[in-house]
Amino acid sequence: MNGTRAILGAECTAVLESFAQSGVLLAFDYDGTLSPIAPTPESARLPEATKQLLVRVAAHYPMVVISGRALDDISARVANIGVRHIFGNHGLEWSGGKSRPRVRVHRWADQLREQLATLTGVFVEDKTHSLSVHYRLAPDNERTLQLILPIVRKLPDVRVICGAAAVNLLPKDGANKGVALRRALELSGCDKAIYVGDDDTDEDAFGALPPETLLGIRVGPSETSSAAYHLEAQDSIDQLLQTLIDLRTA
């Protein structure tokens, strides 16, 4: 890995323009990407300026959202902006089909609520198809994470992915954001995709397609990401959206 490059930098203009002028699908994560990270999942909101830009983007590009949130949750948050397909629970749920809840996920939730009960500022979010253990409100995030990880890694048939002050637990044999992105590309009939995400839960998507087909953009520079490009910070998303609009309307 050589590190990501700034997609809005002058030296990367040609790459972004090439994808924008092709039959491209736009795919976005939600938390930390379209919406700023919030203290709790419930308090995350799509800024009005970003929402209006997304409405305009949807007039020029097919657009999907792929989120770790439960499908009903993320669907409500991105309603009325022109999204063609929505994937929840890291791709385990899809707005165009039925998904099968995992009994083991409920068992994990019951077990973890008991085992993590003594940790201040930690709560378990049961999303039926996956779990998130949130610790943003803990007094010492790094120490709390080191206490959580050995416990969750002992769960049977679990895949552990660390996110932004959350540990995400997925069934090992389930879908992921990369599977969701490939399905979205097939459904859209597009030749290429631009995917924007902000943390390790998005790495499956960044590595899902060859670089000539996928423009992966991570929020924040990274030396280890499978994404080739980055935005400097979450609040750069509006500039990216405006640039994408300009490239189709110039």
Residue 67, SS3? coil
Query: Computed over its alpha carbons, how large is the radius of gyration of the chain?
Result: 18
Answer whether 92's CB lies under 8 Å from 175's CB.
yes
Mean pLDDT along residues 85-100: 89
**Residue 31, Cα to own-chain centre: how many angstroms?**
7
Residue 66, SS3? strand
Distance, in Å, from the CA atom of 170 to the CA atom of 157, rounded to the nearest integer, reads: 9
Residue 76: φ, ψ to 5°: -65, -35
Residue 5: φ, ψ to 5°: -115, 150
| Banded model confidence at residue 102, pLDDT cuts 50, 70, 90 | confident
pTM assigned to the model: 0.94
Q: Where are the beta strands (DSSP E) in 40-121?
A: 63-66, 85-88, 93-94
Instruction: List, for residues 171-199, the tens digit of each pLDDT value.
Output: 988 889 999 999 999 999 999 999 999 99
Average pLDDT, the chain: 95
Q: Please give, one letter per residue, the 3-state secondary structure of 110-177.
A: HHHHHHCCCCCCCEEEECCCCEEEECCCCCCHHHHHHHHHHHHCCCCCEEEEECCCEEEEEECCCCCH
Residue 65, SS3? strand
The pLDDT of residue 18 is above 60: yes
Neighbours of 160 (CB within 10 A): 16
Distance, in Å, from the CA atom of 6 to the CA atom of 96, rounded to the nearest integer, reads: 34
Per-residue pLDDT, 96 = 81
Distance, in Å, from the CA atom of 158 to the CA atom of 145, rounded to the nearest integer, reads: 17
Strands 5-6 and 229-231: parallel
| Banded model confidence at residue 49, pLDDT cuts 50, 70, 90 | very high
Structure tokens at 143: 């120490």
Domains and CATH numbers, the chain: 5-98+175-249 (3.40.50.1000), 103-171 (3.30.70.1020)
Per-residue pLDDT, 99 = 75
Mean pLDDT along residues 160-167: 94
Q: What percent of the chain has pLDDT over 90?
A: 92
**Non-local CB neighbours of 124 within 8 Å, separated by 6+ positions:** 109, 112, 113, 116, 131, 132, 133, 134
How far, in Å, are 21, 95, 196, 198, 235 from residue 220 at the CA level? Answer: 25, 29, 11, 7, 10
Answer whether 23's CB lies under 8 Å from 191's CB.
yes
Q: Tell me how far apart the terminal alpha carbons of the chain are, to the nearest angstrom.
A: 35
